[in-house]
Structure 1
Amino acid sequence: MSALCRLIQRALPGGGACRRLFPGQQQPVCGAALTVRTASSSSPVNLTYDVFDGKGESTPLVFLHGLFGSKSNFHSIAKSLVQRTGRKVLTVDARNHGNSPHSPELTYEAMAGDLKHLLAQLHIEKCVLIGHSMGGKTAMTMAITQPGLVERLVVVDISPAQTTTRTNFRYYIQALQKVKISSDIPRSTARRMAEDQLRSLVKEHSVRQFLLTNLVEQNGHYAWRVNLSAISEHLDKLMSFPSFDTVYEGPTLFLGGASSAYISSDDYPEIQRLFPMADIQYIPDASHWIHADKPLDFISSISSFLQS
């Protein structure tokens, strides 16, 4: 089993003490036969999140997951950082992901607006923002547009550059849309059925397992909890990055996987333009999912950055 699979299994709901924003609410899923909460396209959505309480008074850490991910992806990391730093840690579901509401709008400006709304709800005046992939672009957008809310910024294996040529997400969307699962069958059977159908388009076992964390059941029906239609419609925007003339001057760490192509030397000039205080580091033998491949190195890098 890959490190990614192990981390995902440890991070599935129920894997630790945490508080949830909407206790007891129905699990949102996509599909005509299933219940889903939908937000208007013009206003921020109420994001779901988990809190891992630390005893220290330092600025809290806020983790933002990548495309097709959820707040659960960072549970193990969050617990370790609470123990190591004493800080409160939040892991957040983006709109159209996890347990957060669905919306037809899916842009980095909108997702940054959701996060600003959440911080205001929680009376958090400043945070250390840590975003992976899509979450990294949301974090960069937030830092540039709302610098007063971001004390420090960590961008995990992504850059403010076009990433279309480096991804297979369009294939993943097509694969998920083609999956058909019978109703009223055991979850284990439904999961095997979904994986069998994904195998032809998604070759990597670890990626299939990651995508399968989005399979949910409600009233005997199975579907994907991510909003595939919104993701598909906005994928080009998600693979790009908004244009900004302003910069974020706070301490910034770009943390790349040495085996990943998501942060290349071609991206350095734009990183330095938008984030003049940026430090760029790579973790050896890590892929795009650094936090899954090398969790101890990932935690150490963030801890060192917090102390610098």
Structure 2
Amino acid sequence: MLLNFKQSGLEQSSAKTVILIHGLFGSLENLNIIARALEPQFNVVNVDLRNHGRSFKSDDMNYQVMAQDILSLIDHLKLEQVILVGHSMGGKVAMQVAMLDEQKVSKLVVLDIAPVQYHPRHDGIIAALNKVTSSTPKSRSDADKIMSNNIEELGVRQFLLKSLAKNDNGELEWRFNLPIIEKNYSKIIDNIDTPRTCLCDTLFLKGNNSDYILPEHKNEIVSAFSKARAKIIQGAGHWLHAEKPEAVNRSIIDFIQ
């Protein structure tokens, strides 16, 4: 099955293609701020990962199958090479694509994630999302009140609420497949498969207030991506592209040009 995607910017035949890959609980709309900055110079493909947005649902959810979804889309679009930009979980998917088929990836941009295994950090979010599901709210503001007991940060709640939409029966439900995500959560926080060193040009962008990329991750990063370089975005946390869009967009464009 093919991922849901949206193409914008220059025509595919005349420009390099950049594929944007969102993070956990997100959708293709999350990286629109990057897409808009790239559209004047590139063919931009924004995707919904499996079990997210309007893409298909599947019981299988790990980095191998999610990376293969991206490779299938690249083949469908008849592209020889692409530039990959991924945030958080999407960054791991992008890294796994490069590990599976390095020849298809001309450049790789990873936003605030490292090729390491993480400790669980979404328990409160998952609990809040399940409360919304069981409460059948009438509006997004109702859902926001329900989630506020578990999630203090307004920005995080607003991000999640973008994926709350009415179904065919007029009831609000999550666009992402919460039961499957919860079931496969251990695979989502796990490391990607790194059987070798990837030689493609790679940029890691880190929000300086985020703890997703730490100094102790340097060896794993360099071992997996020997041409990796890193840049810190000041005044930003994990959602660096939303907090400091100009700095992030300029860093991406400078790197891929």
TM-score normalized by the length of structure 1: 0.80
Query: What is aligned with 1:285?
Result: 235
Show the 5 A alignment for 1:28-39. Answer: none
For structure 1, which segment, 243-252 or 193-202, has the greater mean C-alpha deviation from structure 2 after superposition? 243-252
Query: What is aligned with 1:296?
Result: 246
Show the 5 A alignment for 1:24-63. Answer: 45-54=1-10, 57-63=14-20
Query: What is aligned with 1:203?
Result: 152
Query: What is aligned with 1:27?
Result: none
Query: What is aligned with 2:190?
Result: 240
Structure 1 Cα separation of the partners of residues 249 and 14 of structure 2: 20
| Contact 1:143–1:150 (8 Å) recurs in 2 | yes
Query: What is aligned with 2:55?
Result: 100
Structure 1 Cα separation of the partners of residues 243 and 153 of structure 2: 15
Structure 1 Cα separation of the partners of residues 252 and 128 of structure 2: 35
Give the unaligned 5+ runs of structure 2: none
Query: What is the CA-CA distance between 1:59 and the residue it aligns to?
Result: 2.0
Q: Of 123, 127, 151, which aligns to 1:170?
A: 123
Q: Of 108, 111, 114, which aligns to 2:69?
A: 114
Tell whether 2:82 aligns with 1:148: no
Query: What is aligned with 2:170?
Result: 220
Query: What is aligned with 1:40?
Result: none
Query: What is the CA-CA distance between 1:170 and the residue it aligns to?
Result: 2.0
Q: Of 75, 82, 100, which aligns to 1:127?
A: 82
Structure 1 Cα separation of the partners of residues 85 and 172 of structure 2: 32
Cα deviation per residue 1:20-72 (whole Å; 9 max; x = unaligned)? xxxxxxxxxxxxxxxxxxxxxxxxx3101111121583421110000001100
Query: What is the CA-CA distance between 1:250 and the residue it aligns to?
Result: 1.0
| Contact 1:172–1:201 (8 Å) recurs in 2 | yes
Query: What is aligned with 1:261?
Result: 211
Query: What is aligned with 1:81?
Result: 38
Amino acid at match of 1:280: A
Query: What is the CA-CA distance between 1:216 and the residue it aligns to?
Result: 1.1
Supply the RMSD in Å over aligned alpha carbons: 1.4
Query: What is the CA-CA distance between 1:247 and the residue it aligns to?
Result: 1.7
| Contact 2:92–2:192 (8 Å) recurs in 1 | no
Cα deviation per residue 1:81-133 (whole Å; 9 max; x = unaligned)? 122xx111111000000110110111000000111111111111110000000
Q: Secondary structure at the match of 2:39?
A: helix
| Contact 2:107–2:200 (8 Å) recurs in 1 | yes
Q: Secondary structure at the match of 1:279?
A: strand
Amino acid at match of 1:256: K
Structure 2 Cα separation of the partners of residues 247 and 59 of structure 1: 25
Give the unaligned 5+ runs of structure 1: 1-44
Structure 2 Cα separation of the partners of residues 87 and 182 of structure 1: 42
Query: What is aligned with 1:157?
Result: 112
| Contact 2:9–2:38 (8 Å) recurs in 1 | no
Tell whether 2:149 aligns with 1:194: no
Query: What is the CA-CA distance between 1:181 and the residue it aligns to?
Result: 4.5
Query: What is aligned with 1:33?
Result: none
Tell me the number of residue pairs that the alignment of Structure 1 and Structure 2 aligns. 254
Amino acid at match of 2:142: M
Structure 1 Cα separation of the partners of residues 15 and 214 of structure 2: 33
Q: Secondary structure at the match of 2:61?
A: coil
Structure 2 Cα separation of the partners of residues 54 and 255 of structure 1: 25
- C-alpha change, 1:61 and 1:192, in structure 2 (3 Å) is same
| Contact 1:181–1:222 (8 Å) recurs in 2 | no
TM-score normalized by the length of structure 2: 0.95
Structure 2 Cα separation of the partners of residues 182 and 255 of structure 1: 38
Query: What is the CA-CA distance between 1:182 and the residue it aligns to?
Result: 4.6
Q: Secondary structure at the match of 2:210?
A: coil
